[in-house]
Amino acid sequence: MRLERLAGNKIKIFLTSDDLFERGLTNEEVWKDSGKWNQLFHDMVEEASAELDVDIRGPVAVEIFSLHAQGIIMIITVSDIKEDEEMIEDGFIEMQVMVGGYQDLLYEFEEFEDLIGLSKRLYPLNILGGSVYELNNIYYLLIDQMDPNQNEVAAALLSEFGNASIKSPYILKEYGKKIIENHAVETILKYFK
Q: 159-182 pLDDT, tens per residue?
A: 889 887 878 787 888 889 999 998
Report residue 109's pLDDT band, with 50, 70 and 90 as the boundaries: very high
**pLDDT tens-digit readout, 82-103:** 443 343 344 434 444 444 444 5
pLDDT for the residue 8: 73
The whole-angstrom separation of Cα 55 and Cα 65 is 23
The whole-angstrom separation of Cα 67 and Cα 152 is 12
**pLDDT tens-digit readout, 5-55:** 777 777 888 877 777 777 777 656 655 556 666 777 777 778 877 787 777
Least confident of 76-80, 104-108, 127-131, 136-140: 76-80
Residue among 119, 111, 102, 124 at smallest CA distance from 173: 102
pLDDT for the residue 31: 57
Report residue 158's pLDDT band, with 50, 70 and 90 as the boundaries: confident
